Structure 1
Amino acid sequence: MSLTSSPAPAARPPNTATPSRAYDGTSPFPPDGPAPARDGGDRLYLAVTAVIVVVPFVAVGLAGWLLWGSFIHVTDIVLALVLYTVTGLGVTVGFHRGLTHGGYRAVRPVRVALAVAGSMAFQGDVIGWVATHRRHHAFTDRPGDPHSPYRYGTHLRGQLRGLLHAHVGWLFRNDRTSADRYAPDLLADPDIRAVARAFPLLCLFTLALPFAAGWAIGGTWIYGLTALLWAGLVRIALLHHVTWSVNSLCHLIGERPFRTRRHDRATNLWPLALLSFGESWHNLHHADPTCARHGVDRGQIDLSAAVIRLLERLGWAYDVRWPTPDRLAARRT
């Protein structure tokens, strides 16, 4: 999974080259070459990325300080849970399993609604998100992968540096992914293009909504501010780090019951299963990316798959690619 900001003015060419096939699986990735001089557009990209990444994280510290003084309301908790669920499923069910991998098809209103919900997660516009994630699958854990924890090699120092890179450092590289190459189907979809263009407004809306709801329910602007903090910024920060943990931890720690492609080290990490709505059953996902269910073994809770099943029963999703015993058996280690 990935997080990108709105497309920046061309500061460096989008990544379209095919990386070398000579990677041995343990060495640091070859250098990308000299970085071009930064212009105003590049600096704007980094500034926007810093705001998206840092402000919610700082809000967590502020929230901790406020919590110490019991400055939190039931309204804040309920709004945070509701918005975390809606925006998180927008990413997992909408951006990821639907638009990126085609694990199912949805009727137009549901397709658009999920794209809007995912955009409200503050993880970048839908087309950029999908393009980056498809590129991740094309070059998983080898040169070309935008956020592999193996970028700096497999020795301890390289792994620690790579973990930081895979979790958040890659966001600041401005290593843009070509939507023309990796998401031409979405570029051809006028509904999805409209949602992508609306991303800045949806970012404002995802913060204004808890503020307005908190004020309306609590009756004072204080309730609005605490709702903005907890159901806005803290909620965004938590979902950010859960998503980034799938990029980082779920390629370093956990079990690998299914075979993946050469160099692909995707793992299952059960502690993240509930918070990630089933995305941390990452090993099966990389073994069979179009499968609509990631948690396929006994006890593996996959809330995203449950939502897709509900949509299917309502007639709002179809052509769902559910796992079959034969496909799973063929991929077992």
Structure 2
Amino acid sequence: MAITDRRTSSLSDGGTDATRGSTVPVLYDGVSPFPRDESEGRNRVPRWQMAVTAVVVAFPFIALAAALWLLWGSVVGPTDVVLAVVLYCLTGLGVTVGFHRGLTHGSFTPNRPVKIAMAIAGSMSFQGDVITWVATHRRHHAYTDRPGDPHSPFRFGTSLTGELRGLVHAHVGWLFTADITPPARYAPDLLADSDLRAVSRAFPWLCVLSLAVPFGAGWAVGGTWSAALTALIWAGLVRVALLQHVTWSVNSLCHMIGRRPFRTRRHDRATNLWPLALLSFGESWHNLHHADPTCARHGVDRGQIDPTAAVIRLLERTGWVHDVRWPVAGRLETRRQA
């Protein structure tokens, strides 16, 4: 049985298979497993790419083991905590402000330095290069919880077993499939941007930088290899692991658990999950986001904290971004569940 409220809306659900360029409607009843994609056998992900993905996904376990070893008989230092919090915020907001609300959905228009800075910061989160990230997320919105969605938790149907398998798939399993999202179809605007192409090519080096910064800062403050290594573990590996799993939880948990105060497209089960709001910088107000994807603020109701929207507001006041799409009361009310 499904965990979410199954109310659906009368909003159009598209109905065509844009992934393959077909105009034939994809029939889906909302409860069955997704049909097998016959193209997966032809579009093989290179083994080296799978190996790199495996290393990135293994970060939480590497970080946990290293952290436990370092903490044996000691405590984490204030430098490690400060570095971890600062880098978590910078890289996390790079994803939420930059990759997501800015570049994927066009919730605002940044000036060139802000655009480049956001793309660099988001790339340092170890979640993929900016162009691939945006293309995958746009495809997720085009086919939310229907065949074609790269990481729907309902891929294996809505039985208890199917949803448990789907939860694992939506959280991390989709990273290991041969289901390739073509940037030329979903992110042609980013491919046409020379700045973003350069940042995308630099992704491996930005990941190295993401770990080198805490290592160097730990050495500079503590003056020892131990201080540098401790900073690398906490402000590097643990920070990356936590941010990854918070982002992946929006893909998985925020389609299965939580409230759905706003109507979304048919079969779209995006939810609001308040416990993740602060760690995700407001991204877990996911139901509103799927009801109004270009809106710059996701936490629109009283008490819904949305740090990403606060940063966008600050950037707007400084003149560094413009054309911000803030919530419109009348538009929101037309999308509320009866």
Q: When the two structures are superposed, what TM-score results if normalisation uses the length of structure 2?
A: 0.91
The residue type paired with residue 228 of structure 2 is G
How do 1:6-21 and structure 2 match up within 5 A? 15-17=19-21, 20-21=25-26
Conserved in 2, the CA contact under 8 Å of 1:16 and 1:178? Answer: no
Partner of 1:144: 148
Partner of 1:160: 164
CA deviation string 1:276-327 (max 9, x = no partner): 0000000000000000000000000000000000000000110000001101
Partner of 1:8: none
How many angstroms apart in 1 are the aligned matches of 2:25 and 2:305? 38
Superposition deviation, residue 74 in structure 1: 1.0
Conserved in 1, the CA contact under 8 Å of 2:70 and 2:230? Answer: no
How many angstroms apart in 2 are the aligned matches of 1:112 and 1:30? 39
Partner of 1:7: none
CA deviation string 1:99-130 (max 9, x = no partner): 00000011110111000000000000000000
Partner of 1:221: 225
Partner of 1:242: 246
Partner of 1:255: 259
2:76 is the counterpart of 1:80: no
CA deviation string 1:203-249 (max 9, x = no partner): 10001110000000111111100000000000000000000000000
The alignment's C-alpha RMSD in Å is: 1.6
- Secondary structure of 1:142's partner? coil
Conserved in 1, the CA contact under 8 Å of 2:43 and 2:178? Answer: no
- Match for 1:102 among 92, 99, 106? 106
For structure 1, the 5+ residue unaligned runs are 1-13
How many angstroms apart in 2 are the aligned matches of 1:135 and 1:255? 24
The residue type paired with residue 94 of structure 1 is G
Partner of 2:30: 25
- Match for 1:264 among 264, 268, 282? 268
- Match for 1:66 among 67, 70, 74? 70
For structure 2, the 5+ residue unaligned runs are 1-17
How many angstroms apart in 1 are the aligned matches of 2:171 and 2:255? 11
- Match for 2:97 among 93, 113, 135? 93
Conserved in 2, the CA contact under 8 Å of 1:20 and 1:143? Answer: no
How many angstroms apart in 2 are the aligned matches of 1:67 and 1:325? 50
Conserved in 2, the CA contact under 8 Å of 1:77 and 1:230? Answer: yes
1:67 to 1:43, Cα distance in 2 relative to 1, 3 A: same
The residue type paired with residue 34 of structure 2 is F
Partner of 1:170: 174
The residue type paired with residue 33 of structure 2 is P
Conserved in 1, the CA contact under 8 Å of 2:110 and 2:321? Answer: yes
Superposition deviation, residue 15 in structure 1: 5.0
How many angstroms apart in 2 are the aligned matches of 1:16 and 1:191? 29
2:216 is the counterpart of 1:212: yes
How do 1:291-306 and structure 2 match up within 5 A? 291-306=295-310
1:59 to 1:17, Cα distance in 2 relative to 1, 3 A: farther
The residue type paired with residue 194 of structure 2 is P
Superposition deviation, residue 37 in structure 1: 7.6
How do 1:18-57 and structure 2 match up within 5 A? 20-33=25-38, 35-36=40-41, 42-57=46-61
The residue type paired with residue 282 of structure 1 is H
How many angstroms apart in 2 are the aligned matches of 1:320 and 1:37? 41
> Which range moves more in the overlay, 184-193 or 47-56?
47-56
Q: When the two structures are superposed, what TM-score results if normalisation uses the length of structure 1?
A: 0.93
How do 1:107-126 and structure 2 match up within 5 A? 107-126=111-130
The residue type paired with residue 31 of structure 2 is T
Conserved in 2, the CA contact under 8 Å of 1:15 and 1:175? Answer: no
The residue type paired with residue 70 of structure 1 is S
Superposition deviation, residue 175 in structure 1: 1.5
CA deviation string 1:150-201 (max 9, x = no partner): 0000010000000000000000003211000000000000101110010010
Conserved in 2, the CA contact under 8 Å of 1:60 and 1:237? Answer: no
Aligned residues between the structures: 319
Conserved in 2, the CA contact under 8 Å of 1:46 and 1:174? Answer: no
Conserved in 1, the CA contact under 8 Å of 2:273 and 2:285? Answer: yes
How many angstroms apart in 1 are the aligned matches of 2:72 and 2:137? 39
Superposition deviation, residue 69 in structure 1: 2.6
1:21 to 1:35, Cα distance in 2 relative to 1, 3 A: closer
1:16 to 1:218, Cα distance in 2 relative to 1, 3 A: farther
How many angstroms apart in 1 are the aligned matches of 2:232 and 2:336? 45
Partner of 2:183: 179
Partner of 1:131: 135
How many angstroms apart in 1 are the aligned matches of 2:144 and 2:65? 34
